[in-house]
Structure 1
Amino acid sequence: MEFEKKVLSREIQQYLYESGLTVGSAESCTGGRIAEAIIAVPGASTYFKGGVISYTNEVKENLLGVDHQLLEENTAVCEEVAKAMVQGAIKTLGVDFVIATTGTAGPGGGTAEIPVGTIWIACGNAENIETLKLTEDYGRDINLAIATSKALQMFIGFLKEHAPKVKNEGKVPVIPVAE
């Protein structure tokens, strides 16, 4: 795991470890990379409940409740689907926050309207969802690494704005030795 992702995961931990709040992921193109990054730090089981890898539209519909017509009309690679994935995963996983991704990482699969490298990131809670669109194509591996890092950074920004302040903020959390 990249050092940057560990640093980002540790920062997420500082917000959530003693807060009682929980997070999950709903990942399409990133295929579990966000979940992997979050659980890279000991103690993540206190706030990370799980994730749904919804690589196909069928899983987006059946597990996350994304509307079939939305997927048909807009494709899976759009802001509305990313937001719907957050909303659905909050319900499915029973969490306070969700980070979601949907996109075309490449090398194939792109179209003139939605070229390779188009990735929508969404994160939020039941009241607020923020989105970010990535559009550059640096090749599959780099596209996915960038999307994962951007998703974690975006979530930290969301937590700074929307998470209740915790008494431990800014300090290193007390982490159990054995996980």
Structure 2
Amino acid sequence: MDFEGKIISRDVSQLLWEMEKTVGTAESCTGGRIAETIMGVPGASKYFKGGIICYVNEVKENLLGVSHELMEEKTAVCEEVAVEMVKGACQTLNVDYAVAATGLAGPGGGSKEIPVGTIWLAVGNAERTITTKILEDHGRDINIAIATNTAMQMLRDFLIEENKEVEAAES
């Protein structure tokens, strides 16, 4: 994990500790790297419940409840699938928040419509989810690293916003 990744992971850790909330992951193309980054901070067992590596559509459907029809219509590499992965992870893992990644890390598997390097990331909870799309191909390892770092930044920003909302409601 690079230096920036460690700082973001510590920020996420501190926020989850302070908020007394839990998080889990649902990862396809990142293969567990986001989970590894979250649990790389000592004390992560207080807030990180686990992750589901859902590399194939069957696992997305059976464990996360992602719609078969949706994946047939739009493929697994779309914003809607990433959102359903977050909601499914929140339910299956019984966590407050989840992070999801679905895409094509490469080197193969891309098409004209969905080129290699296309990765959808989602962060949220059962009520609200934010997403982003990565469209850069720098080779498999770098694609996965970019997706992991971006997902962690999204998680940190989402938690900061959630924490501000809680503090505002309490005052």
Asked if TM exceeds 0.5, the reply is yes
* 8 Å CA contact 2:38, 2:48 repeated in 1: yes
**Alpha-carbon deviation of 1:2?**
1.9
* 8 Å CA contact 1:20, 1:47 repeated in 2: yes
Q: Structure 1: which amino acid aligns with 2:62?
A: N
TM-score normalised to structure 2 length: 0.94
Of the structure 1 ranges 42-51 and 2-11, higher mean CA displacement relative to structure 2 is found in: 2-11
**Alpha-carbon deviation of 1:67?**
0.6
Q: Does 1:20 align with 2:20?
A: yes
1:4 and 1:109 map into 2 onto residues whose CA distance is: 30
* 8 Å CA contact 1:15, 1:166 repeated in 2: no
* 8 Å CA contact 1:101, 1:120 repeated in 2: yes
**Alpha-carbon deviation of 1:18?**
3.5
Instruction: Give 5+ residue unaligned stretches, structure 1.
Output: 168-179
Q: Which structure is higher in helix share?
A: 2
Q: Given the superposition, is the C-alpha separation of residues 67 and 165 from structure 1 closer, same or farther in structure 2, using an over 3 Å criterion?
A: closer
Q: Structure 2: which amino acid aligns with 1:138?
A: H
Instruction: Give 5+ residue unaligned stretches, structure 2.
Output: none
3-state SS of the aligned residue for 2:20? Answer: coil
Alignment partner, residue 112 of structure 1: 112
Deviating beyond 2 angstroms after TM superposition, the runs of 4 or more aligned structure 1 residues are 163-167
1:57-136 correspondence to structure 2 within 5 Å: 57-136=57-136
3-state SS of the aligned residue for 1:9? Answer: helix
3-state SS of the aligned residue for 1:163? Answer: helix
Deviations 1:10-43 (A, max 9, x none): 0001101132200000000000000000111100
1:96 and 1:142 map into 2 onto residues whose CA distance is: 29
3-state SS of the aligned residue for 2:108? Answer: coil
3-state SS of the aligned residue for 2:18? Answer: coil
CA root-mean-square deviation: 1.4
Q: Structure 2: which amino acid aligns with 1:127?
A: E
Of the structure 1 ranges 13-22 and 69-78, higher mean CA displacement relative to structure 2 is found in: 13-22
Deviations 1:99-156 (A, max 9, x none): 0000001000000000000000000011110000000111111000000000000111
Alignment partner, residue 172 of structure 1: none
Alignment partner, residue 149 of structure 2: 149
**Alpha-carbon deviation of 1:162?**
1.5
* 8 Å CA contact 2:24, 2:51 repeated in 1: yes
Q: Structure 1: which amino acid aligns with 2:35?
A: A
**Alpha-carbon deviation of 1:165?**
7.2
